[in-house]
Amino acid sequence: MSRGKVTPNVDRLRRNNQIRISPIRVIDQDEQQVGIIDTDKARQMAMEAGMDLVEVAPNARPPVCRIMDYGKWLYEQKKKEKVAKSHRHEVTLKEVRMRPKTDPHDMMIKVNQARGFLAKGHKVQFTLRFRGREMVHLDLGRDTFNAVKEQLADIGKVERDFKMEGRRLTMVLMPAGKIEKKDARPQPVPAGAPAAAEAAEPAPSEQA
């Protein structure tokens, strides 16, 4: 009768003659339960199959051992670890700085800049700094951020909405999920628009 698989712990596995305790519960190379048998008999079974006897659950009573090709299994585990490591993606917080009265050309550049970050899986903090009497026009900042959210709705969603920090209004967008390549393309920038400024990592600065 077939039962659930026992997943070995890759840290340290006793195998073959390293297994001293007897009897043991054995699972064969076809994932079938052999039952509780003498360890010498289990080792003999493994040898006849050209495989190893590997202790996969030493704390069980009796311990559980599997008949397997240990070298092949170890290779596959390392391969899986390598693939998993290559798929890890470090999410960073990028910053796009704006002004309360950002003209349409600059707005398009900033939005495209943020779109590129979101497409790569990064979060984006929008920072809008008010200077002097601009503080009386907080509604302009909110209107600007609402426009940003609308233009990036296909690729980003709000992680943290408007937040006033001193003279800075901030908002954080995160990737909305799996995005088709066509969705991640920057929108055309009107002719004569200034070049996009480099985005900086979030840090206190007087630059807007």
**What is the domain class of 93-184 according to CATH?**
alpha beta
| Stretch (H or E) spanning 163 | strand 156-165
pLDDT of residue 84: 78
How far is the C-alpha of 53 from the C-alpha of 7, rounded, in Å?
A: 14
CB-CB contact of 124 with 148 (8 Å): no
How far is the C-alpha of 102 from the C-alpha of 204, rounded, in Å?
A: 21
> What is the domain partition of the chain in residue ranges?
16-85, 93-184
How far is the C-alpha of 183 from the C-alpha of 175, rounded, in Å?
A: 12
How far is the C-alpha of 39 from the C-alpha of 14, rounded, in Å?
A: 13
Task: Tell me how crowded residue 179 is: count the other CB atoms within 10 A of its CB.
Answer: 16
For 49-88, how does the pLDDT look when each residue is reduced to its tens digit (9 = 90+)?
Answer: 999 999 999 999 999 999 999 999 889 988 888 887 766 6
| Stretch (H or E) spanning 111 | helix 104-119
pLDDT of residue 11: 56
pLDDT of residue 48: 94
Asked if omega into 186 is within 30° of 0 (cis), the reply is: no
Question: Could you say which DSSP state residue 181 is in?
Answer: G
All residue ranges of the chain with pLDDT < 70 are: 1-11, 86-91, 178-208
User: What would be the CATH architecture of the domain defined by 16-85?
Assistant: Roll (3.10)
pLDDT of residue 115: 95
For 139-149, how does the pLDDT look when each residue is reduced to its tens digit (9 = 90+)?
Answer: 888 889 999 99
